């Protein structure tokens, strides 16, 4: 650039070898600085993306563990639900037997109470006793 200006302008003295050398050296220095800056940026980018990759791998592993845990818990829950579902008929049978027993006991109590009302001389203490015949005096 300096060379071009001096050649176009005839009033300036011709460019010396030292000036040309300095000009080339300055350009090389600027390119060197640019390469250093680019290299540093490249290193920073590599470091950044490596860090991101590690972070993503850790998160991926964490998610895999969580998924396995959830799968295991889901399986256990489904097994427990199936077990409960399979036990329903048995519980129904037990409940039916209990209802029948309570029904029989209630009917028995009802019959007993009805019998007491029709025979008021029968008391709780005489229930189950055989009445004695009355003797003439």
Domain-embedded: residue 126:
no
- pLDDT at position 62, please? 98
Are 12 and 6 in contact, with CB atoms under 8 Å apart? Answer: yes
- Does residue 125 lie in a domain region? no
Number of domains in the chain: 1
Structural domain includes residue 131: no
pLDDT one-digit tens code per residue, 74-83 = 999 999 999 9
pLDDT at 132 over 60: no
The model's confidence at residue 69, banded by pLDDT at 50, 70 and 90, is very high
**What's the pLDDT score for residue 15?**
74
Q: Is residue 70 part of a domain?
A: yes
* Residue at 45 is within a domain: yes
**pLDDT tens digits along 11-52:** 666 778 899 999 999 999 999 999 999 999 999 999 999 999
User: What pLDDT, on a 0 to 100 scale, did the predictor assign at position 116?
Assistant: 80
Query: Is 63 inside any structural domain?
Result: yes
Predicted confidence at residue 114, as pLDDT, reads 84
Whole-prediction pTM value?
0.46
Query: Which domain does 66 fall in, by range?
Result: 2-119
Indicate whether 104 belongs to any domain.
yes
Looking at residue 8, what is its pLDDT?
A: 56
Structure confidence at residue 136 (pLDDT)? 58
Residue 117 is predicted with a pLDDT of 78
Q: Look at residue 130 and tell me if it is in a domain.
A: no
pLDDT (tens digit per residue) in 93-131? 999 999 999 999 999 999 888 888 776 565 555 555 555
């Amino acid at each position: 650039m300096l060379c071009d200006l001096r050649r176009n302008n005839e009033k300036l003295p011709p460019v010396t070898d030292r000036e040309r050398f300095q000009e080339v050296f300055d350009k090389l220095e600027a390119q060197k600085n640019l390469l250093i800056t680019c290299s540093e940026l490249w290193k920073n980018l590599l470091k950044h993306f490596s860090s991101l990759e590690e972070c993503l791998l850790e998160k991926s592993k964490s998610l895999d563990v969580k998924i396995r845990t959830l799968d295991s818990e889901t399986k256990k829950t489904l097994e427990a639900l199936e077990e409960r579902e399979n036990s329903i008929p048995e519980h129904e049978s037990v409940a039916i037997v209990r209802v029948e027993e309570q029904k029989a006991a209630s009917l028995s109590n009802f019959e007993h109470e009805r019998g007491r009302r029709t025979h008021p001389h029968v008391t709780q203490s005489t229930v189950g006793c055989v009445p004695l015949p009355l003797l003439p005096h």
